[in-house]
Structure 1
Amino acid sequence: MRRGTEIIDHAYEIARLTAMRQTGLPAAAFPERCPWSPDQVLDDDFLPGVAALPGDMYD
């Protein structure tokens, strides 16, 4: 799973940068690392909610 984790980390980094660019939000608005485990990312039935994010800024 090591290689899978590296792929997820890389994809998340690109997605985070894209989201910052598209929304104009600061980096602090997005977790630095993917907040979901590789098992969650690969689970077709997993659907994260806002409350699943660490340090939820919407509390």
Structure 2
Amino acid sequence: MHVLELREELGLSAEQVSAVTEVFKRMRDAAVIAGEKFIVAETALDDAFASGQLGDDVLMQLLSES
């Protein structure tokens, strides 16, 4: 369970709930950005492998960018 779900049981103040909510939003936003970057990198790797002409240098570059 998330701390926000347990806020009453934990006796969190309004200030604490606000602070935890802000941290959660920042964490979620960062996770979404990381997920989007991962999908772009995965697509680039898939496309490179599908082309059948993936060299070591391009593979290493794509992996370093992912």
> In which range does the TM-score fall when normalised by the shorter chain?
0.3 to 0.5
Larger helix fraction of residues: 2
TM-score by length of 2: 0.37
* Structure showing greater relative contact order (alpha-carbon pairs closer than 8 Å, 6 or more residues apart): 1
Instruction: Give the structure with higher Rg (CA).
Output: 2
